[in-house]
Amino acid sequence: MLGKILDKSSCAKCRVCCGFVEDDKWEIPLIFTELRSAVEQKLGVKLIPRGNEFVFDMKFDGDKLVYCPAVSENGCTLGELKPFDCMIWPFRVNQLGERRVITVSPVCEAVIDLPLSRITEFVNTDGFAERLFEESRKHPDMVKPYIDGYPIIKAENVN
Ligand code: SF4
């Protein structure tokens, strides 16, 4: 989904979004219920519930980096089963008061270093923002609280 601003080879080399420490386990990708069985079968793992969806059952030890069980040296092994959270990262839908906003994580250097105008243009073309808001309505567990300082690229209209 992000091919216009991120190339797959740099993602495969970086993999910063596929490793987690205890404090950021809230960022473990959400696996929508309809993908649960296929992901479990493909990886031979058991997913655990989070809200109405599922996540990988990962054990943490403070600041020790733990990689997602789907990652390989060449990047994600899930192909078409890749979680929506991962397809859109470093973008997120966050709750900010009454509104939902699309933010961009500063952790992804490849995207955050782009001119803001390019990031904004990307979010606002080809229905990207609409797709994020639509998925967040269908899967509200993917909406995370807003983190202070994260650039807000777009806010959902509230009627
Ligand atoms: S599902 Fe794939 S892209 Fe997402 S964190 Fe795991 S390895 Fe990375």
Both tokens of 60, joined, read 């943490």
Average pLDDT over residues 121-140: 97
| Average pLDDT value for the chain | 95
Nearest to 27 by CA among 38, 19, 35: 19
In the predicted structure, residue 8 carries a pLDDT above the cut 90: no
| Ligand 1 contact via 30 beta carbon (within 6 Å) | no
| Ligand 1 contact via 29 beta carbon (within 6 Å) | yes
Please state the atom number of ligand 1 nearest to the C-alpha of residue 82. 1
H-only helix segments in 24-107:
36-43, 84-88
pLDDT at site 20: 96
How many Å lie between the centroid of ligand 1 and the Cα of residue 72? 9
Confidence band of 159 (pLDDT split at 50, 70, 90): low
Query: Over the stretch 74-130, which tens digit does the pLDDT of each residue have?
Result: 889 999 999 999 999 999 999 999 999 999 999 999 999 999 999 999 999 999 999
Nearest-angstrom CA–CA distance, 153 and 101: 7
| Ligand 1 contact via 88 beta carbon (within 6 Å) | no
In the predicted structure, residue 9 carries a pLDDT above the cut 90: no
Query: pTM score, two decimals?
Result: 0.94
| Ligand 1 contact via 68 beta carbon (within 6 Å) | yes
Average pLDDT over residues 7-27: 90
Helix %, strand %, coil % of the chain (to 5): 40, 20, 40
